[in-house]
């Protein structure tokens, strides 16, 4: 086991190129078990790329990316689930079937417990009544919540979320944020969440990683020390927000 074996997520000197485009340049990041980390940064700075590397979707990159000490290219990504930036739903399948895609491979989709789990998740993301609908019958925000439910159904050790609430109205967004915190607390999941929303990052995360520039590098990491359960108006959250905003250069 290497020196990175102690961390749930370990990224060292990660550089990722797409042809001539350098998407990430020497990124270092470690995330501990059960930690909630948010990643913010301007559009195009490589946030999605970072999650793609961690979830094992990128074969080629320089540096190291490991989950529990196992390189993501050697099966380390098996413990990782991801909610994509786009919903990516199966157009021919209804909401229930789409959520069931996330059920771990050991689970039999047909048995009653699995069905209950899927139905519960559909309810949790506020889509009860739409279990039999096709994606073409859903709004953008509803599709995004189906995709979120699919990710939660997977119950991974590490959950990566790429702007999972970006298409939701404020009220629904707050509900889903609190729901995610509940799942996180209940299951001890390690979470890395990408967002453009500074308030969201501060409210949810233990630490906020600010990526900057193009190619993306880590600008700074802001610790959010506010106690949980958090109050959205906690002065510490406001301070964290200011620190993040400063780091983003806004």
Partner 1 sequence: MATTRETDRIGSDHDAESDSGVLPALSRFRWLLGLVVPAGLVVVWHVLVATGVFAPHQLPEPLRVVGTLYAMGVSGELWGHISITLQRVFFGVLLGVSVGVVFGTVTGLYGLANDLLDPLLQSLKNIPSLAWVPLFLLWFGIGESAKVLLIALGAFFPVYLNLSTGIANVGDELIEVAEVYDLGRIESLRRVVFPAAVPSLLVGIRGGVGLAWMFVVAAELIAASQGIGFLMSDGRVLARPDIIVGSILLFAFFGNLSDLAVKGVERRVVDW
Question: Which residues bind to partner 1, rule: CB under 8 A?
Answer: 55-57, 78, 80-82, 84, 86, 88, 90-93, 101-102, 104-105, 134-136, 150, 154
DSSP H/E element including 185 = helix 170-187
- 8 A C-beta contact, residue 179 and residue 165: no
Of the candidates 154, 179, 170, 238, the one whose C-alpha atom is nearest the C-alpha of residue 203 is: 238
Give the Cα separation of 39 and 11 in Å (integer). Answer: 14
CA atoms within 13 A on the CB side of 240: 30
Q: From the list 7, 47, 145, 150, which residue makes contact with ligand ATP (rule: CB under 6 A)?
A: 47
86 binds, among ligand ATP, Mg ion, partner 1, none (CB under 5 to 8 A by kind): partner 1
Q: From the list 3, 13, 21, 116, which residue makes contact with ligand ATP (rule: CB under 6 A)?
A: 21
45 touches ligand ATP by CB under 6 A: yes
- 8 A C-beta contact, residue 73 and residue 241: no
Which CB atom, from 70 or from 82, has the smaller least distance to ligand ATP? 82
Q: What are the tokens at 5?
A: 């074996």
Q: From the list 4, 8, 48, 189, which residue makes contact with ligand ATP (rule: CB under 6 A)?
A: 48
Give the Cα separation of 242 and 166 in Å (integer). Answer: 21
Please report how close the Cβ of residue 224 comes to partner 1 at its closest, in angstroms.
Answer: 28
46 touches ligand ATP by CB under 6 A: yes
Task: Give the interface segment with ligand ATP, choosing from 4-12, 42-50, 55-63, 75-83 (CB under 6 A).
Answer: 42-50
Please report how close the Cβ of residue 16 comes to partner 1 at its closest, in angstroms.
Answer: 16
Q: From the list 11, 14, 23, 65, which residue makes contact with ligand ATP (rule: CB under 6 A)?
A: 23
Which CB atom, from 121 or from 198, has the smaller least distance to partner 1? 121
Residues 123-130: contacts with CB under 8 Å, at least 24 apart? 124/149, 124/152, 124/179, 125/149, 125/176, 125/179, 126/172, 126/175, 126/176, 127/95, 130/95
Site for ligand ATP in 52-111 (CB under 6 A): 85
Give the per-residue contact string, 202-231, with ligand ATP (x = CB under 6 A; - = no): ------------x-----------------
Q: What are the tokens at 131?
A: 């279990």
Which CB atom, from 42 or from 69, has the smaller least distance to ligand ATP? 42
Give the Cα separation of 46 and 5 in Å (integer). Answer: 25
Please report how close the Cβ of residue 91 comes to partner 1 at its closest, in angstroms.
Answer: 5
Of the candidates 131, 107, 111, 135, the one whose C-alpha atom is nearest the C-alpha of residue 119 is: 131
Number of residues lying near Mg ion (CB under 5 A): 2
Give the Cα separation of 45 and 31 in Å (integer). Answer: 20
Applying CB under 6 A, the residues found at the interface with ligand ATP are: 18, 21, 23, 41, 43-49, 85, 214
């Amino acid at each position: 086991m290497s020196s990175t074996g102690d961390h749930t997520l370990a990224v060292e000197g990660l550089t990722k190129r797409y042809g001539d485009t350098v998407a990430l340049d020497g990124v270092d990041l470690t995330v501990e078990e059960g930690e909630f980390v948010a990643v913010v940064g301007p559009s195009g700075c490589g946030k999605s790329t970072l999650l793609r590397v961690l979830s094992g979707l990128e074969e080629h990159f320089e540096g190291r990316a490991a989950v529990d000490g196992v390189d993501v290219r050697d099966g380390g990504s098996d413990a990782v689930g991801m909610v994509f930036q786009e919903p990516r739903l199966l157009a021919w399948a209804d909401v229930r079937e789409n959520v069931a895609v996330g059920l771990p491979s050991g689970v039999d989709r047909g048995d009653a417990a699995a069905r209950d789990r899927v139905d519960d998740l559909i309810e949790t993301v506020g889509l009860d009544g739409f279990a039999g609908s096709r994606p073409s019958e859903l709004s953008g925000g509803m599709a995004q919540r189906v995709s979120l439910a699919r990710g939660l159904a997977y119950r991974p050790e590490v959950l990566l979320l790429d702007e999972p609430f970006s298409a939701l109205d404020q009220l629904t967004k707050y509900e889903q944020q609190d729901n995610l915190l509940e799942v996180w607390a209940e299951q001890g999941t390690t979470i890395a969440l990408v967002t453009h929303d500074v308030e969201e990052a501060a409210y949810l995360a233990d630490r906020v990683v600010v990526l900057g520039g193009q190619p993306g590098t880590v600008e700074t990491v802001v610790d959010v020390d506010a106690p949980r359960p958090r109050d959205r108006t906690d002065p510490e959250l406001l301070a964290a927000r200011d620190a993040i905003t400063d780091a983003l250069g806004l």
